[in-house]
Amino acid sequence: MEVIILPTAEEASEVAARLVARQVREKPQSVLGLATGSTPCKLYDLLARMHRDGDLDFSKTTSFNLDEYVGLDPVHPASYHHFMEKNLFSLINIPQGHIHIPDGLAADVPAHCTAYEKAIREAGGIDLQILGLGSDGHLGFNEPGSSLASRTRIKTLTERTRSDNARFFADCGEVPHHVITMGLGTIMESRMCLLLAFGEGKAHAVAQSVEGPVTASVPGSLLQFHPHAKVLLDAGAASLLARADYYRWVYKNKPEWQTDL
């Protein structure tokens, strides 16, 4: 796990954007795993800008989103379909047929989840998975206690996550209880994981994920087992890391052949 701490979320998002851009340039047919929420907004903005400037072509790229609320229409303003369309897909040239987001209105949820896993496999697996971190340590919507081997399935949100996400809804009672999410096993099969976390509100979950024991109680900690995971943090999110100075030193003093950013 490589921990990269930058002073601001903007600077960390710029590094993330360079990593995603490099992935897409080196392999135009890349399969990207995408997250929603506040955390990746700046990253998506930067990717859209690179595309607008003619620097980044998504025409051969495929995407799979991590999750969606059960029961929300794709046009609902808080749905992740709507979020992705507004913040990324309408701003780049990824073909509609290459976009995959779990269907929160699926009539047969288990069959839909099985088909989602199959579609990921048939696309060749996820090359680069973008992740945010819940304040309770969740990855995707794999809440604490999720099986470390879990696959795409229905999950019940904790009250903490429902209240964290209430800001996207007219009122707290409107936040669905159920979601469809890629599993931790699904996420761990991605060839590379890029976890972004910003702000002091994430500091505890970050410290537990990066420096705590690997446990289902903190799904983010599973990334310690991933062979190619980078964690991009701003100063606030890194504020409870015991080895923050060490991570900063390592990043600043990488041998030239290793500086891929």
* Residue 258 C-beta: closest distance to ligand F6R, Å: 28
Q: Are 47 and 17 in contact (CB under 8 A)?
A: yes
Residue 61 contacts residue 29 (beta carbons within 8 Å): yes
Q: Residue 127 or residue 164: which is nearer to ligand F6R going by CB?
A: 164
178 is catalytic: no
Q: Least distance to ligand F6R from the beta carbon of 55, Å?
A: 26
143 noted as active-site residue: yes
Q: Which stretch binds ligand F6R (CB under 6 A): 113-121, 126-134, 149-157, 242-250?
A: 126-134
Hey, which residues between 135 and 164 contact ligand F6R (CB under 6 A)?
A: 138-141
**Nearest-10 crossing angle of helices 80-87, 41-52:** 40
Query: Could you tell me the smallest distance in angstroms from the CB atom of residue 256 to ligand F6R?
Result: 33
HSE of 92, CA atoms in CB hemisphere, 13 A: 29
Contacts with ligand F6R in 52-81 (CB under 6 A)?
A: 66-67
* Cα separation, 44 vs 91, whole angstroms: 9
The DSSP secondary-structure symbol of 27 reads: -
Compute the Cα dihedral for 97, 102, 105, 106 and give only its sign: positive
Stretch that binds ligand F6R, among 43-51, 134-142, 171-179, 241-249 (CB under 6 A): 134-142
In angstroms, what is the minimal distance from the CB of 182 to ligand F6R?
8
The single residue of 138, 189, 226, 234 carrying the catalytic annotation is: 138
Q: Which residues pair with 139 in a beta bridge?
A: 142
Strands 153-156 and 178-181: antiparallel
User: 120: buried, middle or exposed (CB in 10 Å: 19+, 13-18, 0-12)?
Assistant: buried
**How many residues at the interface with ligand F6R, by CB under 6 A?**
14
**Window 25-54: residues binding ligand F6R (CB under 6 A):** 35-39
The residues that touch ligand F6R, with contacts defined as CB under 6 A, are: 35-39, 66-67, 132-134, 138-141
Catalytic residues: 67, 136, 138, 143
